Amino acid sequence: MRANFPKLGSKLGYGALLALTVIYSVFPIYWMINTSFREPSTIYTAIEFFPSAFTWENFSTLLELTDYPTWFANSVIVALGTVAVTIVLSVLIAYAVTRLQFRGKTLVIGTMLYAYMFPPLLLAIPLATLFVRIGLSDTLLSLVISHTTLALPLGVWLLWGFFKQIPHDVEEAAMVDGCSRLRAFVLVVLPLTLPGIVTVAIFAFLLSWTDYVFALVMVSSDVNKTLPVGLDTMVGLYELRWGELMAGSTLIALPLFVMFTFLSRFFIRGLAAGAVKG
Amino acid sequence: MASIEIRNVTKKFGDLTVVDDVSMSIDDGELMVFVGPSGCGKSTTLRMVAGLETTTAGTIMIGDRDVTRLDPKDRNIAMVFQNYALYAHKSVYGNLAFGLRMRGASKAEIDKRVREAAATLGIDDLLERRPKQLSGGQRQRVALGRALVRDPDAFLLDEPLSNLDAKLRVRMREEIGSLHSRIGTSMIYVTHDQVEAMTLGNRIAVMKDGRLQQVGAPLEVYDNPANQFVASFIGSPEMNQVDARLEAAGSGLRLMGDGFAIDLSTARSAGLSAGADVVLGLRPEHLEVLPDGAEDGVEFRMRVDLVEPMGAQTLLLCREGGTSLRVLISRNDGISRGDRVAMRLGDGRYHLFDAASGTTLKSIGTKVI
Ligand SMILES: Nc1ncnc2c1ncn2[C@@H]1O[C@H](COP(=O)(O)OP(=O)(O)OP(=O)(O)O)[C@@H](O)[C@H]1O
Ligand SMILES: [Mg+2]
């Protein structure tokens, strides 16, 4: 009995800690969704944990007042573009690095990760100057390029970890079995790196979808705004309309929820494998 | 099915020559074993035949096709790798079917061939499993099966058994041997294990430092090794090698060494001349222990330093002066450490190598009448 007591205590402790963590991270999200469904007139007058009158009004005014569909489309284009370019480039680079023999390989790849030590703004401003020079400023392409620049180092590093684990034999076996080098790569190597590729895709999507700084610096015209920047124009322009703002945020977060529900297993597996072997 | 011909093939990695002017031909349906110590270039030679490594110089023919510049996929060979190299994301069935699919076989044809090969190798109940869910022996069978379904011109196997435990290795060796005699496809089998080479090969090719030392039937190589290296590499326990000098004695020759003197009859010394520094090679199984008190024909008198009972046979380590010999005899419980034994060359079998170059001066590997 006595021996069980501390066990029970520590179990309760863990439980409480877990509950606190969950509340800490989930509550703001919950509050956002909650607010987006409340009657706009009640938002400033009462604190409600559940909408007393459930309404879609915030969503409809949001769509009426703003270019939300355009921003959404822009965000999708930029995010998918970033994902596509990042995956293609990081697969090619990581594979080349795995098969190439040169001294200080690990160091070079490690150094790539230093890109993440700088605040985004520090990278965004010189990049923006560059884009002005080559006539790409205020385009969605400039955003795709910037986001790719940021997603690529992690992508290469992660996939490198995967490629390293795949024995060269397997590719050779496929070549003897009748594949060209490229076909062996596509049919035998790529499927084995799928968790890694999915992880990189999610990471790139997330980075691009939620990016505010680059979009703010690179894009000025309304038609080229992405969701986070677009939504920001509501602040001040129509005073602080919390209802619409929260409705907009909910819509931004929605694709991420859906994605994580289906792909989180891949994501965790990919991160774990990449990290251990990296 | 086809013969394979390797003509003056050389491979360099940068300045390093790892295969040096190797030539041999493998007959249609023959099982050729490449054997040699680690790093001698066996795998590299095999990989050049497979097309996984380019040749620096030379020509490789399969049948009457010059394949030297062809991609692996166009050579119509199948290969079994040391670490199996199975496709981890495919089932056993998928692994076996892959090569056929790549060659555009029909679904029905694939299914038939996969099931045949699986039945031959006894893996028909594993077809749905993933490689991860198989034991080492089962994986090895799948790797063999993947080669088998394809019905290629030749099988190339690179140390296919080295990851298995000793018992399983012997069993799989026998299976590969009987598989080969059943299907009759040319095979090149790489191993560093001379026992595997001796038991499996129709012929064996012994390599060292990228050079081909000797090609021949296993017993031919055992009886008449081309040089000191081949002599010591083939055969187990290893051949004894003792420094000696040839001296004239009467009408014949005498081998003088530290602690022994052997008179060679004219029949046994034909072609040799006195005054040469030589290395005497004696296989442990070719030394004969004489009964106590024997006087006639004694060539060695030595002290037993170590007795290793091996079951049916007993291995003795004998020493005299600066010379020590390993002697393999039928089980003999009467000999113990410290005994003195008298010995001679059984049936007069011995090998002589040139002390400087290591080439064989004389080999009497079979009984002299
Ligand atoms: N890609 C390469 N680059 C440089 N040197 C290589 C390469 N591949 C093999 N070598 C060298 O070539 C030599 C022969 O290698 P190989 O793999 O053919 O030996 P092996 O006889 O198969 O040995 P083992 O029994 O250990 O497998 C070795 O010294 C090896 O270091
Ligand atoms: Mg090898």
Q: Is residue A52 part of a domain?
A: no
Domain shared by B24 and B63, yes or no: yes
Q: Whose CA is nearest to atom 29 of ligand 1?
A: B39
Q: Which residues contact B68 (CB under 8 A, 6 or more apart)?
A: B55, B58, B59, B60
Number of domains in chain A: 1
Q: Which of B44, B77, B79, B150 is the best residue to mutate to test the A interface, defined by the most A CB atoms within 10 Å of its own CB?
A: B79
Alpha carbon of B220 to ligand 2 centroid (Å): 25
Q: How far is CA B93 from CA A170, A187, B62, B132, B154, in A?
A: 16, 16, 29, 14, 22
CATH number at residue B213: 3.40.50.300
Residues pairing with B146 in the sheet: none
Paired tokens of B44: 């590299």
- Does residue B9 sit in the same domain as residue B109? yes
Cα B162 from Cα A124, distance rounded (Å): 56
Please say which residue of B181, B202, B229 terminates a domain.
B229
Residue B135 lies in a domain: yes
Cβ-based interface (< 8 Å): residues of A facing B: 167, 169-170, 172-180, 183, 188, 191-192
Question: Are the C-beta atoms of residues B129 and B49 closer than 8 Å to each other?
Answer: no
Pocket test for ligand 1, best of B35, B42, B45 (most atoms within 8 A of CB): B42
Residue A250: both structure tokens together: 């909910």
The CATH number assigned to the domain holding A168 equals 1.10.3720.10
Q: How many angstroms separate the CA atoms of B266 and B49, rounded?
A: 47
The answer to whether residues B114 and B257 belong to one domain is no
pTM as predicted:
0.83
Residue A170: the pLDDT is 93
pLDDT for res A235: 75
SS3 A50: coil
At residue A277, the pLDDT reads 39
Q: How far apart are the first and last CA of chain A?
A: 46
Examine the domain organization and report whether B294 and B333 are in the same domain. yes
Does residue B267 sit within a domain?
A: yes
Residue A193 covered by a domain: yes
Q: Are residues B173 and B211 in the same domain?
A: yes
Within a domain: residue B357?
yes
**B335 CA → ligand 2 middle, Å:** 42
Please indicate, yes or no, whether residues B13 and B142 belong to a single structural domain of this protein: yes
Q: What is the pLDDT along chain A (278 residues), one digit of tens a residue?
A: 455 566 778 888 899 999 999 999 999 889 888 888 888 777 777 777 777 778 888 888 888 888 888 999 999 999 999 999 999 999 999 998 888 787 888 788 778 888 788 888 888 889 999 999 999 989 999 999 999 999 999 999 989 988 988 888 999 999 999 999 999 999 999 988 888 898 899 899 999 999 999 999 998 888 899 998 888 887 765 567 788 888 888 888 888 888 888 877 777 776 666 544 33
Edge-to-edge strands, sheet with B77-80: B77-80, B154-158, B186-191, B31-35, B203-208, B211-216
Radius of gyration of chain B (CA): 25
- Supply A215's token pair: 């979009």
SS3 sequence of B86-124: CCCCCCHHHHHHHHHHHCCCCHHHHHHHHHHHHHHHCCH
Domains held by chain B: number? 2
Calpha distance B250→B121 (Å, rounded): 64
Asked if the Cβ–Cβ distance from A176 to B88 is below 8 Å, we say no
Confirm whether B235 is domain-assigned: no
In sequence order, the 6+-apart residues with CB closer than 8 A to the CB of B55 are B9, B10, B11, B48, B68
Do B138 and B158 have their domain in common?
Answer: yes
Distance B237 CA to ligand 2 centre (A): 23
In a domain, residue B369? The reply is no
> Based on the domain organization, do B284 and B153 belong to the same domain?
no
Residue position matching structure tokens 């990049």: A127
Cis amide prior to B131 (ω within 30 degrees): no
| Same-domain status, B208 and B263 | no
CA dihedral sign of residues A223, A226, A229, A235: positive
Give the range of the structural domain holding residue B278, as residue numbers without chain letter.
240-364
Query: B42 — phi, psi (to 5°)?
Result: -60, -55
User: Percentage of chain B surpassing pLDDT 90?
Assistant: 79
Give the pLDDT means over successive 10-residue stretches in chain B (369 positions): 93 96 96 96 97 96 95 95 92 96 94 94 93 92 92 94 89 92 94 94 96 96 96 94 91 88 82 89 94 85 94 94 92 91 89 94 78
If asked whether residues B210 and B274 sit together in one domain, one would say no
Nearest to B68 by CA among B140, B8, B145, B113: B8
Do B341 and B289 meet the contact criterion of CB atoms below 8 Å apart?
Answer: yes
Provide the pLDDT for residue A77: 95
Residue B192 Cα: closest atom of ligand 1: 25
Inside any domain, residue B36: yes
Ligand 1 atom with minimal separation from the B37 CA: 25
Q: Give Cα A209 to chain centroid, integer Å.
A: 6
β-strands B287-290, B340-345: how paired?
antiparallel
Q: Is A174 in contact with B98 (Cβ distance < 8 A)?
A: yes
Q: Which residue has the CA at smallest separation from atom 8 of ligand 1?
A: B44
User: Do A228 and A212 form a contact (C-beta atoms < 8 A)?
Assistant: yes
B203 and B299 belong to one structural domain:
no
Residues B271 and B224 grouped into a single domain? no
**A236 has which bridge partners?**
A239
Largest CA distance in chain B: 80
What φ, ψ does residue B40 adopt, rounded to 5°? -85, -5
Residue B276 · residue B312 · CB < 8 Å: no
Nearest to B73 among A167, A170, A178 (CB): A178
Residue A26 domain flag: no
Report if residue B128 sits inside a domain: yes
Neighbour count for residue B228 (Cβ, 10 Å): 21
A21 in a structural domain: no
Domain of A151, in residue numbers: 66-274
A4 belongs to a structural domain = no
Residue B234 is assigned to a structural domain of this protein: no
Task: Calculate how close chain A gets to B88, using CA atoms only, in Å.
Answer: 7
- Looking up residue B268, the CATH number of its domain turns out to be 2.40.50.140
